[in-house]
């Protein structure tokens, strides 16, 4: 590898300065991620052991791509190199150290759906009235408390008892939530000097991509690890900070300057991604933000196209327009489907576009939406797997105890719960006591039902835990519980739904099999698999290059596409009405989002702004986003979006989706 040939001079300095703290703040497309990748490859070439290198990225996809690129550059396998997200790295640390704080290493990781169930369980136990509560809000408060972004105050202290119960149950079920993946490792490292020492000895070279979006917790985590060697390189762009609602804070850049006063700083100023037109539009827009480190950014790429803007009559015409444009450009300019990005501000905007894509046979994948893994049938399977991995996991147990129906009635469940509460047991332990204790107060019928459930778990546990037996055991399990029959019973009116759901399960099992067969997965185990999917809840299993990328702007961060569509460029959508209501200062964050969206485009950027849109079944008049006026008008060109009568005809969305999944 010839580093100097692959990088410009500033990038070269950034990639070859490996000792001491390094700060790289630079605009979109200036090669920040590329620098990290080459920096790692360079270190390896210099003979730094792979195990000493830790690179932290924002998404799993980014981590996979970076690791892959480094392998290509070095021609080595690199099993000891750690490139991962903060959360995945948190899991890794917890796996090795969580026993130091009284958990078992087969812990479950709870997503929002699980957290809500847990919250309800916790409320039930302490008789907290949830009637008029919004669980999401409560979880938001808990998250702020846990990540130390807030303190109990007059409003929130009402939930203190509930929080204590929630925390107690998490531990009882040997489960952690997402915030724990960062906060528990910090706690362990803070309180166990010998463990901290082990980590700082091991990771001597640390890099963080998308630094502007690290949370305060993630910053502390990083700092603890880096304080041994102080070889820490962070790269980011303050103009792309778009997660402040999740507690990310680009003041981390200021903290970094304070905590590492000896740092070197490198600025990258050449953009290699976009044309002049796109870059000028982005630069002009973002200059309207006051709260920023000003930057220079130039490109040598001449423009062929202006930025296009179309004003379709409604969201159906918008979808039609996008679909037609994609087909046209795909055919005319032979641009592969995978080179198109269609960006939306919120998930709800995807539906009309997905319908058209399905109708027009445009292959696509949606990311940032409801995850494949959260579909009911898949979640059921996952809960079975979790119970097999960690029998104390009551949230999963409650979910599947009567799926399929086992006749375990409400009364029995109440009895089990009071038994568990009384002894501070998990339900699994309570069931064991109910079945096997000599003085068990449970009825014979209840005991029989519970025993057969326990036997099921006991029979499948050793199977699924043996090497490379996850997929085959799961398949056997779905047959043993006759999940197909259950689906038929649940959906007596429409036999297509069971077929479709069953098909999803087959896809799921197939993806597990692929995981088990993949030689790159050094250690395929049930535990590792479950972690992996709980961390990729936003990605669907397939990662097909031949598909149009439909995604939210948030999930497009760091990515690039030849042609980018930005849909719903309307006031109330971007800037988002809610963001503005909460705090007018949020307009700057919305502008950064718009900046991120624009800067994903390499060659062409095509925006659409509907004149009306259906919101909750009501037709609403829409105005173009005020951000459009902030763009230099000579860079824009209006494109006609013709209405299409055919498209207005009703379509059966689910039928189309089934067609896509190949079911029926």
The response to whether 647 counts as a known ligand-binding position is no
Residue 612 is encoded by which pair of tokens? 């009306």
* Residue 269 vs 324, nearer CB to ligand ATP: 269
Contact between 561 and ligand ATP per CB under 6 A: no
Q: Which residue has the tokens 């009364």?
A: 411
Binders of ligand ATP in range 222-251 (CB under 6 A):
237, 240
Cβ nearer to Mg ion, comparing 293 with 614: 293
- Tell me the C-alpha distance between 50 and 483, whole Å: 45
Binding to Mg ion by residue 85, rule CB under 5 A?
no
The only residue of 8, 347, 374, 612 in contact with ligand ATP, by rule CB under 6 A: 8
Q: Which of 638, 646, 552, 632 is nearest to 312 (CA)?
A: 638
Residue listed under structure tokens 């302490």 = 126
- d(CA 92, CA 101) in angstroms, rounded, equals 15
Closest to ligand ATP by CB, 367 or 531: 367
Catalytic residue selected from 32, 69, 220, 386? 32
Find which of ligand ATP, Mg ion, none residue 31 binds, CB within 5 to 8 Å per kind: ligand ATP
Residue 33 annotated among the catalytic residues of the structure: yes
- Which residue's CB is nearer to Mg ion, number 237 or number 392? 237
Catalytic residue among 39, 273, 600, 602: 600
Q: Positive or negative CA dihedral for 173, 175, 180, 186?
A: positive
Convert residues 408-447 into a mask of x (bound to ligand ATP by CB under 6 A) and - (unbound): ----------------------------------------
- Asked if 225 and 197 count as a contact pair (C-beta separation under 8 A), the reply is no
SS3 letters for 585-648? CHHHHHHHHHHHHHCCEEEEEEEECCCEEEECCEEEECCECHHHHHCCHHHEEEECCCCCHHHH
Decide which of ligand ATP, Mg ion, none touches 34; Cβ closer than 5 to 8 Å per partner kind: ligand ATP
Quick one: which segment of 14-22, 28-36, 128-136, 383-391 binds Mg ion (CB under 5 A)?
28-36
Q: How far is the CB of 29 from ligand ATP (least distance, A)?
A: 4
121, 180, 209, 355: which one is catalytic?
A: 209
Counting residues that bind ligand ATP (by CB under 6 A) gives 17
> By the 8 A CB rule, do 42 and 14 touch?
no
Name the phi and psi angles at 9, rounded to 5: -65, -45
DSSP type of residue 30: S
Q: How far is the CB of 238 from ligand ATP (least distance, A)?
A: 11
DSSP-derived pairing of the beta strands 175-177 and 636-639: unpaired
- Name the token pair of 525: 């185990």
By CB under 5 A, tell whether 57 contacts Mg ion. Answer: no
Select from ligand ATP, Mg ion, none the partner in contact with residue 272, using the beta carbon and a kind-dependent cut-off of 5 to 8 Å. Answer: ligand ATP
Query: Cα separation of 548 and 238, whole Å?
Result: 29
- Distance CA(59)–CA(556), nearest Å, equals 10
Instruction: For the CB of residue 33, give the shortest distance to Mg ion in the complex, in Å.
Output: 3
Q: For ligand ATP, what does the binding mask look like between residues 181 and 220, x meaning CB under 6 A?
A: ----------------------------------------
The answer to whether residue 34 forms part of the interface with ligand ATP (CB under 6 A) is yes
User: Tokens in use for 96?
Assistant: 């090795």
* C-alpha–C-alpha distance, residues 68 and 45, integer Å: 16
Residue showing the smallest CB distance to Mg ion in the complex:
33
33 belongs to the binding site for Mg ion (CB under 5 A): yes
Judged by CB under 5 A, the stretch of 15-23, 284-292, 555-563, 572-580 that binds Mg ion is: 555-563
**209 belongs to the catalytic site:** yes
Which residue's CB is nearer to Mg ion, number 33 or number 115?
Answer: 33
Judge whether 600 counts as a catalytic residue.
yes
Q: Which of 87, 273, 554, 613 binds ligand ATP (CB under 6 A)?
A: 273
Q: Which residues contact 481 (CB under 8 A, 6 or more apart)?
A: 404, 456
Verify cis geometry, omega within 30 degrees of 0, for the bond prior to 173.
Answer: no
Residue 466 CB contacts under 8 Å (≥ 6 apart), including other chains: none
CA distance 621 to 1: 56
Is 341 within 8 Å of 561 (Cβ atoms)?
yes
Bridge-based pairing of strands 612-615 and 618-621 is: antiparallel
Q: Does 31 bind ligand ATP (CB under 6 A)?
A: yes
Of the two residues 119 and 235, which places its CB atom closer to Mg ion in the complex?
Answer: 235
- Under the criterion CB under 6 A, does residue 29 sit at the interface with ligand ATP? yes
Peptide bond into 575 cis (omega under 30): yes
Task: Map the footprint of ligand ATP across residues 586-605, applying CB under 6 A.
Answer: 599
**Of 32, 69, 399, 592, the one binding ligand ATP by CB under 6 A:** 32
Contacts of 306 (CB under 8 A, 6+ apart): 277, 635, 636, 637
Which listed residue (210, 213, 380, 570) is catalytic? 210
Task: Please choose, from the candidates 602, 606, 630, the residue with its C-alpha nearest in 3D space to the C-alpha of residue 271.
Answer: 602
Pick from 22, 25, 28, 550: which binds ligand ATP (CB under 6 A)? Answer: 28
Q: Rounded distance, CA 559 to CA 332, Å?
A: 24
Return the range that interacts with ligand ATP (CB under 6 A); candidates 30-38, 128-136, 571-579, 583-591: 30-38
Our separate counts of H helices and E strands in the chain read 29, 19
Question: Distance (Å, rounded) from C-alpha 505 to C-alpha 597?
Answer: 34
Which CB sits closer to ligand ATP, 11 or 200?
A: 11
- Residue 147: Cβ within 10 Å count: 21
Among the residue ranges 22-30, 167-175, 486-494, 654-662, the one whose residues contact ligand ATP (CB under 6 A): 22-30
Asked if 32 is an active-site residue, the reply is yes
15 among the known binding-site residues?
A: no
Nearer to ligand ATP, 210 or 393 (CB): 210
Q: Which of 90, 312, 369, 558 binds ligand ATP (CB under 6 A)?
A: 558
Query: Which of these ranges, 312-320, 509-517, 556-564, 619-627, lies near Mg ion under the rule CB under 5 A?
Result: 556-564
Provide, rounded to whole angstroms, the least separation between the CB of residue 569 and ligand ATP: 20
* Whole-angstrom distance, CA of residue 530 vs CA of residue 110: 11
266: which residues sit within 8 A by CB, 6+ positions away? 10, 13, 14, 17, 22, 23, 24
Beta bridge partners of 218: none
Q: Which of ligand ATP, Mg ion, none binds 371 (CB below 5-8 Å, type-dependent)?
A: none
Q: Is position 27 annotated in a ligand binding site? A: yes
Kindly state the smallest distance separating residue 419's Cβ from ligand ATP, in Å: 54
Q: Given the complex with ligand ATP, which of 241 and 350 has the nearer CB atom?
A: 241
- Active site (annotated) includes residue 210: yes
List, by residue number, the catalytic residues. 32-33, 209-210, 240, 600
Contacting positions for ligand ATP (CB under 6 A): 7-8, 11, 28-34, 237, 240, 272-273, 558, 560, 599
Contacting positions for Mg ion (CB under 5 A): 32-33, 558
């Amino acid at each position: 590898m010839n580093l100097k040939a692959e990088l410009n001079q500033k990038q070269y300095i950034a990639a070859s300065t490996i000792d001491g703290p390094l700060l790289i703040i630079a605009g979109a497309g200036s090669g920040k991620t590329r620098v990290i990748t080459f920096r790692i490859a360079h270190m390896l070439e210099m003979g730094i052991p792979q195990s000493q290198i830790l690179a932290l990225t924002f998404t799993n996809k980014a981590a996979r791509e970076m690791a892959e690129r480094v392998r290509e550059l070095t021609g080595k396998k690199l099993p000891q190199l750690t490139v991962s997200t903060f959360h995945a790295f948190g899991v890794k640390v917890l796996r090795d150290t969580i026993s130091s704080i009284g958990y078992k290493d087969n812990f479950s990781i709870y997503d929002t759906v699980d957290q809500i169930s847990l919250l309800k369980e916790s409320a039930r136990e302490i008789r907290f009235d949830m009637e008029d509560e919004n669980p999401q809000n409560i979880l938001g408060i808990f998250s702020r408390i846990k990540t130390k972004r807030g303190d109990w105050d007059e409003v929130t202290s009402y939930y203190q008892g509930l929080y204590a119960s929630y925390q107690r149950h998490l531990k009882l079920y040997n489960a952690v939530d997402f915030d724990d993946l960062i906060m528990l490792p910090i706690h362990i490292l803070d309180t166990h000097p010998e463990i901290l020492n082990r980590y700082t000895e091991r990771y001597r070279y640390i890099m963080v991509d998308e630094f502007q979006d690290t949370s305060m917790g993630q910053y502390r985590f990083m700092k603890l690890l880096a304080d041994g060697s102080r070889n820490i390189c962070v790269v980011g762009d303050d103009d792309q900070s778009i997660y402040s609602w999740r507690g990310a804070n680009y003041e981390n850049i200021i903290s970094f300057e304070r905590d590492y006063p000896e740092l070197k700083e490198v600025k990258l100023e050449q953009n290699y991604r976009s044309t002049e037109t796109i870059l000028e539009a982005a630069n002009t827009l973002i200059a309207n933000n006051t709260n920023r480190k000003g930057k220079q950014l130039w490109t040598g790429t001449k423009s062929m196209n202006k930025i296009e803007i179309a004003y379709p009559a409604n969201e159906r015409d918008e979808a039609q327009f996008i679909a037609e444009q994609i087909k046209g450009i795909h055919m005319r300019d032979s641009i592969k489907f995978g080179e198109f990005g269609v960006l939306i501000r919120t998930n709800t905007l995807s539906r009309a576009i997905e319908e058209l894509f399905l109708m027009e046979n445009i292959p696509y994948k949606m990311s940032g939406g409801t995850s494949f893994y959260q579909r009911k049938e898949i979640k059921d399977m996952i809960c079975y797997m979790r119970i097999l991995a960690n029998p104390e996991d009551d949230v999963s147990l409650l979910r599947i105890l009567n799926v399929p129906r086992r006749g375990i009635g409400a009364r029995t469940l109440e009895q089990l719960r009071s038994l568990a509460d009384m002894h501070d047991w998990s339900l699994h332990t309570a069931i064991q006591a109910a079945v096997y204790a000599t003085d068990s107060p449970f009825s014979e019928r209840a005991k029989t039902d519970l025993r057969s459930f326990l036997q099921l778990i006991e029979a499948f546990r050793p199977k699924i835990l043996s090497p490379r037996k996850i997929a085959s055991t799961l398949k056997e399990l779905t047959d043993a519980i006759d999940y197909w029959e259950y689906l038929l019973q649940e959906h007596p009116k429409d036999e297509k739904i069971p077929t479709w759901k069953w098909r999803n399960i087959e896809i799921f099992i197939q993806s597990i099999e692929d995981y088990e067969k993949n030689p790159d997965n050094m250690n395929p185990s049930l535990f590792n698999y479950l972690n992996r999917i709980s961390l990729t809840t936003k990605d669907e299993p397939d990662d097909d290059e031949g598909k149009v990328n439909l995604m939210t702007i948030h999930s497009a961060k760091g990515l690039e596409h030849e042609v980018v569509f930005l849909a719903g460029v309307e006031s109330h959508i971007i800037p988002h009405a809610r963001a503005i209501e909460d705090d007018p200062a949020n307009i700057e964050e919305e502008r950064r989002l718009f900046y991120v969206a624009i800067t994903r485009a390499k060659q062409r950027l095509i925006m659409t702004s509907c004149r009306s849109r259906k919101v909750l079944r009501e037709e609403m008049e829409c105005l173009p986003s005020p951000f459009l006026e902030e763009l230099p008008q000579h860079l824009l060109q209006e494109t006609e979006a013709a209405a299409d009568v055919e498209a207005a005809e009703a379509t059966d969305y689910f039928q189309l989706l089934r067609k896509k999944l190949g079911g029926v």
